[in-house]
């Protein structure tokens, strides 16, 4: 296992005790903890450089603008993109809504189809439902194979000139399954449809180079990759960004404003109305620099080894069912499971008493839960700061849950 | 008792594993549904009311041990009880759980004397994020009673 243990001291919160136990944080798929460098970058901005960005003639405004735009360059570079193709927004949800409204409203017609997969997070379903309602388009779902990966064998049956969007997750936040990124984006390209990747779970954990992908749009969130909440990024292929209308009007996003009509600033600024989350953008940049310094290959290898260890240890617990691929080549580090008839909320409460943070519930993926015919799962998810002892603590606490509920 | 033993009392696990009054009612009844969208718990309730008395009730749904046991114990308590008394029990339960204002009705010297088995749910108070689980059935019941008296 790539030993990233020394990094733990960069994360102040990992020193915390919860219910008289040292925190075991296994909820990084929901949000990640922040290293000191990210906290310092944001603090430094507020203490020394705080000003509104763009158009300011004073020194601080210049510094703030430079820091904000530098963060854009850093985040774009992280995914192999140019800064001019990267829009800052509130996060993945905001980005997908932007595509659905900014592109979908102007390109979808009655009878058109939007293909999504059954393993999507609500953020990659509900915006499309909303826009489908406005335009008369229709959602079509790809379902799963026995190993929890998306079944693409039915793709040919649903592909037609009526398909205008294929939207899919790079990695499921529930099962951890990787999405069929190349297959779906190439299929979209072959029929001229828009391809949209929800990268919220993939980008933080795996090297992603958009210049090597066929995808048109990739959305991801800073807080799932060591950065702050309230900011995310939307990368788009330049010609696709040009096809998209702004969904919010206001300051910062205009070229000229007349009494009755206005013209827009160039991409990406035309999609960034109002004062942006400046400190958050700077924190996002610092988070990306941290990840780059560790190296995404090392992070991926570390998580893969840890996930393999967790799958192996969890599979030995009687009554425990894992919902996700058992082959680590097909998945990331989000591990969903059930434990006999111990409800996931009860599991989460019992684990919390041992200082272990996991998530329980439907994970904002109700169509998937219904498809799998399970009301809820408990989910442990890993990141670069997790260590095998934390998997051991999880396993030990799950045995406690079994005992408390009288499972034999 | 540790917090966990207090939370997962035997009587709670018994009601979770063997919930009372499972199913649905035939004949005239009021139906109410409750859910906690954040966690996905669902509670479906049928209540038959005859001459101002809860003459029968049935529940179904899914959720954690606390939400299901709370519902099951509620069913045990309310069947055969006049509506006004049921409302009083709802209030006492919610006060016990610190959901509504008031002085805790439970007598620590005589456990079970006021709310019966339901008093076993007091342990949930030490787990604030779980109080909404215990409350789901009761909020659904209030909805049903409001329909009955509307």
Candidate from A345, A405, A406 with C-beta closest to B39: A345
User: What is the reported pLDDT for B37?
Assistant: 80
Q: Which of A292, A318, A334 lies at the terminal end of a domain, its last residue? A: A292
Quote the pLDDT of residue A330: 98
Instruction: Mark whether A87 and A177 lie in a shared domain.
Output: yes
Q: What is the pLDDT of residue B95?
A: 95
Q: State whether A206 and A108 are in the same domain.
A: yes
A65-116 per-position pLDDT tens digit: 999 999 999 999 999 999 999 999 999 999 999 999 999 999 999 999 999 9
Cβ A311 vs Cβ A74: under 8 Å: no
The pLDDT score that the predictor gives to residue A2 is: 55
Domains and CATH numbers, chain B: 3-149 (3.90.1010.10)
User: Is residue A249 a contact partner of residue A262, using CB atoms and an 8 Å limit?
Assistant: yes
One domain for residues A253 and A319: no
Report the C-alpha gap between B65 and B15 in whole angstroms. 8
Do A26 and A152 reside in the same domain of the chain?
A: no
pLDDT, average across residues A272-299: 97
In this structure, the answer to whether residues A233 and A308 fall within a common structural domain is: no
- Averaged over A346-352, what is the pLDDT? 97
DSSP three-state, residue A405: coil
| Chain A: residues touching B (Cβ < 8 Å) | 341-346, 349-350, 353, 360-362, 366, 369, 375-376, 404-406
Output the domain CATH number for residue A191.
3.40.640.10
One domain for residues A218 and A111? yes
Determine the residue among A341, A342, A344, A349 to mutate to test chain B binding: the one whose Cβ has the most chain B Cβ atoms within 10 Å: A349
Find the residue in A nearest to B14 (Cα): A405
Residues of chain B with pLDDT under 70: 1
Same-domain status, A92 and A155: yes
Query: Are A127 and A275 in a shared domain?
Result: yes
Q: Please give the tally of structural domains in chain A.
A: 2
The answer to whether A364 is a known catalytic residue is: yes
Tell me, what's the pLDDT at A305? 97
A240 and A312 fall within a common domain: no
How high is the pLDDT of residue A203? 98
- On whether both A152 and A236 belong to a single domain, the answer is yes
Cα→Cα distances A10→A4, A45, A115, B74, Å: 11, 20, 42, 50
Containing structural domain, residue A104: 39-292
Q: Give the tens place of pLDDT for each residue, A24-49.
A: 999 999 999 999 999 999 999 999 99
Of all residues in chain A, the percent with pLDDT exceeding 90 is 96
Distance of residue A316 Cα from the nearest chain B Cα, in angstroms: 24
Residue B81 token pair:
């009880």
Please provide the DSSP assignment of A159-189 as one string: -STTEEEEEEESB-TTT-BBP-HHHHHHHHH
Indicate if A80 and A223 belong to the same structural domain. yes
Nearest CA in chain A to B133: A345
Q: Are residues A285 and A301 in the same domain?
A: no
* Each residue's pLDDT tens digit, A129-180: 999 999 999 999 999 999 999 999 999 999 999 999 999 999 999 999 999 9
Point out the catalytic residue in the list A364, A369, A372, A401: A364
Q: Which of the residues A30, A347, A352, A375 would you substitute to probe the B interface, choosing the one with the greatest number of B C-beta atoms within 10 Å?
A: A375
Q: How many CB pairs under 8 A join A and B?
A: 47
d(CA B30, CA A44): 61
Final residue belonging to a domain, choices A292, A324, A343 = A292
pLDDT in the model for residue B1: 55
Q: Residue A401: is its pLDDT beyond 80?
A: yes
| pLDDT tens-digit map of A315-342 | 999 999 999 999 999 999 999 999 999 9
């Amino acid at each position: 296992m790539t030993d990233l243990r020394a990094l733990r001291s960069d994360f102040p919160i990992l020193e915390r005790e919860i219910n008289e136990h040292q925190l075991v944080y296994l909820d990084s798929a929901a949000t990640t903890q922040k290293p000191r460098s990210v906290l310092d970058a944001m603090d430094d901005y507020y203490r020394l450089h705080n000003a509104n960005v763009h158009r300011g003639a004073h020194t601080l405004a210049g510094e703030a603008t430079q820091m904000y735009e530098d963060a854009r360059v850093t985040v774009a570079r992280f995914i192999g993109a140019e800064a001019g193709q990267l829009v800052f927004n509130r996060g993945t949800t905001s980005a997908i809504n932007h595509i659905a409204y900014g592109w979908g409203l102007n390109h979808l017609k009655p009878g058109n189809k939007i293909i999504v997969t059954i393993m999507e997070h609500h953020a990659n379903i509900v915006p499309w439902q909303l826009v489908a309602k406005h335009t008369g388009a229709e959602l079509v779902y790809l379902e799963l194979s026995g190993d929890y990966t998306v079944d693409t064998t039915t793709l040919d049956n649903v592909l037609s000139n009526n398909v205008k969007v294929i939207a899919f997750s790079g990695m499921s936040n529930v099962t951890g399954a990787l999405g069929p990124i190349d297959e779906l984006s190439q299929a979209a390209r072959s029929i001229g449809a828009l391809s949209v990747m929800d990268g919220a779970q993939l980008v933080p954990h795996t090297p992603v180079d958009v210049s090597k992908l066929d995808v048109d749009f990739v959305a991801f969130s800073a807080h799932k990759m060591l950065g702050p909440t309230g900011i995310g990024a939307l990368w788009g292929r330049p010609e696709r960004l040009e096809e998209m209308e702004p969904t919010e009007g206001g300051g910062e996003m205009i070229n000229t404003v007349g009494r009755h009509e206005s013209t827009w600033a160039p991409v990406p600024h035309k999609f960034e109305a109002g004062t942006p989350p400046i400190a958050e953008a700077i924190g996002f940049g610092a988070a990306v620099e941290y990840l780059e310094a560790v190296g995404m290959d090392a992070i991926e290898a570390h998580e893969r080894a840890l996930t393999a260890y967790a799958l192996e240890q969890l599979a030995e617990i009687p009554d425990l069912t894992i919902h996700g691929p058992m082959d680590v080549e097909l998945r990331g580090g989000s591990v969903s499971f059930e434990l006999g008839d111990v409800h996931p909320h009860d599991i989460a409460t019992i684990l919390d008493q041992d200082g272990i943070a996991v998530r329980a519930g439907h994970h904002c993926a109700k169509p998937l839960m219904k498809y799998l015919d399970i009301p809820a799962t408990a989910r442990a998810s890993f990141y670069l700061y997790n260590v095998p002892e934390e998997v051991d603590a999880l396993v030990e606490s799950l045995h406690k849950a079994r005992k408390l509920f009288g499972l034999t | 008792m540790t917090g966990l033993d207090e939370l997962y009392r035997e009587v709670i696990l018994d009601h979770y594993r063997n919930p009372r009054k499972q199913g649905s009612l035939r004949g005239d009844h009021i139906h109410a549904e409750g859910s906690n969208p954040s966690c996905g718990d669902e509670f479906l309730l049928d209540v038959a009311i005859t001459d101002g008395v809860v003459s029968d009730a049935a529940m179904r749904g899914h959720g954690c041990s606390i939400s299901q046991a709370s519902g099951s114990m509620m069913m045990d308590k309310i069947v055969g009880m006049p509506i006004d008394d049921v409302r009083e029990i709802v209030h006492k339960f919610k006060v016990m759980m610190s959901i509504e204002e008031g002085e805790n009705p439970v007598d620590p010297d005589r456990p079970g004397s006021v709310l019966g088995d339901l008093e076993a749910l007091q342990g949930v108070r030490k787990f604030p994020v779980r109080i909404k689980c215990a409350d789901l059935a009761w909020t659904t019941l209030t909805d049903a009673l409001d329909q009955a008296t509307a």
